Amino acid sequence: MSEQRGIIYVVDDDEQIRKGASVLLETLDADLVAFDSAESFLEAYDGRRPACLVTDLCMLGMSGTELQEHLHSLGIKMSVVVITAHASTASTVRAMKNGAFTLLEKPCDPNALWTAARNGLEIDKDTYEQELSCMSVRERLDSLTNKEQAVLECIVVGDANKVIARKMDVSIRTVENHRSRVFSKMKADSVAELVRMSLMVEQEGS
């Protein structure tokens, strides 16, 4: 898997804050794009990952919290750093429940903001790689026939071939053929790897 350069998005309707954050965060090994509103960010966002979104909580139009919720509704899980001059327990809890990596109060300590953005990028890199791996496993699962999927389900719960044959009312030879194709299509070398793949997809969907 080729490593893609990360990107930081700064979204704040305060031009001074936006420019200051951009100058600071440009020192990170990542691309940087700034927007004056959540709406303009959404119009331009192309799904690029890994990414870290640095957004103000209170803005004209769509708020930072509403932006978080909108991204969440789209299934976008990029790291988010929320900055605000009006922190409250309720707003902090809401931001964190919506997936914010951290919340910083304005005026932000430059070191704290820089560190938060850097850590956010690293976390999103790991998250994005996991998402890509899970997507690859899902594609392999989709390539299985119904009978192969049934055999896979039996394999991951530890059923022996003769047990699978009895459950499916087929010969052991037929089970062996299905089993061989399952390992081939899933690109797995062991039962443990099949179990890991199944758990990955199950956890991603939960």
Per-residue pLDDT of the chain (206 residues; tens, 9 = 90+): 446 789 999 999 999 999 999 999 989 989 999 999 999 999 999 989 999 999 998 888 899 889 999 998 888 889 999 998 876 677 777 777 877 888 888 888 999 999 999 999 999 999 888 888 999 999 999 999 999 999 999 999 999 999 999 999 999 999 999 999 999 999 999 999 999 999 888 877 65
User: Is 149 in contact with 141 (CB distance < 8 Å)?
Assistant: yes
Q: Where are the alpha helices (DSSP H) in 74-190?
A: 89-97, 110-142, 146-156, 161-168, 172-186
Q: What's the N-to-C CA distance of the chain in angstroms?
A: 26
Joined tokens for residue 5:
């350069």
pTM: 0.73
Closest CA to 163 of 150, 182, 144, 145: 150
Query: Tell me, what's the pLDDT at 206?
Result: 53
Query: Tell me, what's the pLDDT at 38?
Result: 95
Alpha-carbon distance of 37 to 189, in angstroms, equals: 49
